[in-house]
Structure 1
Amino acid sequence: MLEEIGSYEAKTKLPEILRRVEAGEAFTITNRGKPIADVIPSRASDRLKTEAAIATILKAKKHKISDVVLTELKESGRK
């Protein structure tokens, strides 16, 4: 259930509400008790995180590791 907030309070506390939405919270803005709008975190940031992760994976794939180095890394992880 989204936290309800009146339109006047939403107007006066907009910066605080936006910080909380950025942190993952969601709100329903009401006018005289009637739900008017839902304020939810944007999915655009998820898309940007996904694109950055893909870029990191592709960059990592370009670096080749020799079998000798790979074996050394495996062995060092077992100590």
Structure 2
Amino acid sequence: MTEIGVHEAKTHFSKLLKRVEGGERFSITHRGKVVAVMMPPHDIAPDKANDAYCQLIALRTKFPIGTVHEVTNWKNQDRR
């Protein structure tokens, strides 16, 4: 996997996407620390994706954020 800095990734994002479509993978670093990975979606293991989804649902149950209507109302209240 090729490492690339966040600034270079931002500068060449479209080119990176085309390379990812071709099957390449990139780890994106910020000050030498890997902060993200770009890879084709077929490289993500279905079990891991399902596990992540289940974890998100569990978090949402634990920390409810409200309905879309409620969130919109909260946002609009902050603008007054």
TM-score bracket, normalised by the shorter chain, equals: 0.5 to 0.7
Q: Aligned with 1:20: secondary structure? A: helix
| Structure 1 alignment gaps of length 5 or more | 44-79
1:18 to 2:21 alignment: no
- Give distance in 2, aligned partners of 1:4 and 1:36: 11
1:35 to 2:22 alignment: no
- Structure 1 residue 11, shift from structure 2 partner: 0.2
RMSD, aligned CA:
0.5
Task: Give the match for residue 56 of structure 2.
Answer: none
Q: Aligned with 2:8: secondary structure? A: helix
- Structure 1 residue 39, shift from structure 2 partner: 0.5
- Give distance in 2, aligned partners of 1:38 and 1:12: 16
Larger Cα Rg: Structure 1 or Structure 2?
Answer: 1
- Structure 1 residue 42, shift from structure 2 partner: 1.2
Task: Give the match for residue 60 of structure 1.
Answer: none
Give every structure 1 segment of 4 or more consecutive aligned residues whose post-TM-superposition deviation is greater than 4 Å.
Answer: none
Identity of aligned residues (%): 50
| Structure 2 alignment gaps of length 5 or more | 43-80
Q: Aligned with 1:28: secondary structure? A: strand
Give the alignment's TM-score, normalised by structure 2: 0.51
Q: Aligned with 2:41: secondary structure? A: coil
- Give distance in 2, aligned partners of 1:14 and 1:38: 13
